[in-house]
Amino acid sequence: MANHRSAVFLDRDGTLIEDGGVPGNPEDIRLFPDTIDALRQLQKRHRLFVVTNQPGIAESRVTVNQVAAVNNSLDGMLQREGVKIEEWYVCPHAGRDQCRCIGPNPTFLLQAAKDHELDLMRSFVIGDHPHDISTGEAAGAFGLYLLTGHGPKHLDELPPDRLVFHTLGDAAGWILKHPNAERDLSRAVQAGAEAIRRGGLVAFPTETVYGLGADAVNTDAVARIFEVKGRPLHNPLIVHVADRRQVRPLAASLSETAQRLMERFWPGPLTLVLPKLPIVPDIVTAGNATVAVRMPANKWARDLINLSQTPIAAPSANAFGRTSPTTARHVEDQLRGAYDVLVDGGACRVGVESTVLSLVRETPLLLRPGGVSREDIEELIGGIQVIHHQNITENRHESPGMMSSHYAPSTPLLLVDDIDSYAQRSDIGVILFQNPAIFFRSPTAVLSPRGDLREAAANLYQIMRKLDDMGLRLIVAQRVPNSGLGAAINDRLNKATLQSSPSADSQE
């Protein structure tokens, strides 16, 4: 097997081309912008195969011949660009009852391995549906899930420890850096844990955003976080734990409310502010008598904490006041190696920071809206109070981090309700919540084509960065519905406007 080659098995619709229903015609083919480049990169090291498990065939919505026509045409397009697909596998079943192609049925992969002398254990599968991933894994390959196509819609069905990526190009980049996926990833986590134990800094993925972590009880190590980020010392850090027992030595008491919240929302994007014990250094809490703790849902974050054998203090891994990173590339771009180890765990599934809830007073106080919605919290523990930006000066000790603007791109940003009135402007960038009903002349980016707040949250920072990099004079963002994750999205967009405060006359 050692000399056998490795392969990448690619789903077609939603992975190589846009998924606009069931493409029955070559004219329906729409490549993603980075498809060609990603495949060119991948084929330097791996053989490429396309697996078109078309449920449309089984459901008689499209014929085997139509699928073949699309494949032939796409193959021609790729060949002209210098991309070679070794085989195009198509589900041949004409009726639902015989079709076992949906679900973990690795027949095609096993066939390919035999015909092309492949080592499946060193191979990869890329797709935008959980069954692409489970099919690959059933054959021993490593699965990478895309948030293109149907990816966002079925994300809930994907096991929590699988890697997700915004684009095919991002997934290809990860594969090339991690030829032995499992081993390379766990080695990075081990190297990270060693660095944490030595007092170093580690950038690591969580389900919300990437964190820049240090041993929470090592004052010097934590001080380096502030240094590297340029973060003011009066803004305290969240302490990340791998399980609930790890909270005991940090917090003076755990109310029944705290325990119920942990039971329900941990691991996950909820940070609890609790009375602290002396073991937590002042630098972590900015001298406050409270400590913020959270147990991330991301498996590698928890592995890192476990192997480090210490809780990890970590803010988001961006330069202070700038957009939070939701991919490893974002971290590299901003912090430029100012850490000992970067664990690349793909894109963050939630995409906005954790909800911060203070439990030190009689009534819980929401300090920052985030990945767990206020509605979900209130359903469990009843009414909570919400901090208002106007009152922050009064509450500055309770909400130390909310004084300054955060999450900001360098292009001025404006948050508006009437986005349609900007449709004729060609000199600005526009962030839309969902696919617009009217035509926009300006460069636009859509947070969630189908208007889903969770998808919008997962795309938010990525899209803010993309528009920020276009060198526009102004970005105008549409306010999203304020329920559920929408409150966190609007909060971040609003904070992004504070940095630059574009005045009315700067917009013509």
Chain residues binding Mg ion by CB under 5 A are 316
In angstroms, give the least distance from the CB of 339 to ligand TXA.
Answer: 13
In angstroms, give the least distance from the CB of 457 to Mg ion.
Answer: 15
Residue 163 interacts with ligand TXA (CB under 6 A): yes or no? no
Residue 331 interacts with ligand TXA (CB under 6 A): yes or no? no
CB-based burial, 270-290: b 16+ in 10 Å, e otherwise: bbbbbbbeeebbebbbbebeb
Residue 401 interacts with ligand TXA (CB under 6 A): yes or no? yes
Mark the segment that binds ligand TXA (CB under 6 A) among 54-62, 99-107, 398-406, 432-440. Answer: 398-406
Q: For 406-430, give the secondary structure using H, E and C.
A: CCECCCCEEEECCHHHHCCCCCCEE
Which residues make Cβ contacts (< 8 Å) with residue 354, sequence separation at least 6?
Answer: 208, 238, 269, 270, 271, 294, 368, 370, 371, 372
**For residues 269 and 409, which CB has a smaller minimum distance to ligand TXA in the complex?**
269
Q: Which of 265, 295, 11 is nearest to 131 (CA)?
A: 11
Task: Give residues 190-209 in contact with ligand TXA (rule: CB under 6 A).
Answer: 206, 208-209
Residue 367 interacts with ligand TXA (CB under 6 A): yes or no? yes
Residue 465 interacts with ligand TXA (CB under 6 A): yes or no? no
Q: Which of 441, 187, 163 is nearest to 304 (CA)?
A: 187
C-alpha distances (whole Å) from 209 to each of 298, 304, 313, 314 are 10, 15, 14, 11
Single-letter amino acid code for the residue at 478 = Q
**What residue 222 binds from Mg ion, ligand TXA, none (CB within 5 to 8 A, per partner kind)?**
none
In angstroms, give the least distance from the CB of 326 to ligand TXA.
Answer: 11
Site of tokens 């589900």? 91
In angstroms, give the least distance from the CB of 330 to ligand TXA.
Answer: 13
Whole-number Å distance between alpha carbons of 343 and 177 = 12
Residue 310 interacts with ligand TXA (CB under 6 A): yes or no? no
224: left (phi over 0), alpha (psi -120 to 50) or beta: alpha
In angstroms, give the least distance from the CB of 171 to ligand TXA.
Answer: 23
In angstroms, give the least distance from the CB of 399 to ligand TXA.
Answer: 6
The token pair at 470 is 């276009």
**What residue 211 binds from ligand TXA, Mg ion, none (CB within 5 to 8 A, per partner kind)?**
ligand TXA
Which one among 280, 292, 342, 463 touches ligand TXA, defined by CB under 6 A? Answer: 292
Whole-number Å distance between alpha carbons of 134 and 128 = 12
Residues in contact with ligand TXA by the rule CB under 6 A: 206, 208-209, 211, 235-238, 269, 271, 273, 285, 288, 290-292, 294, 314-316, 353-354, 356, 358, 367-368, 399-402
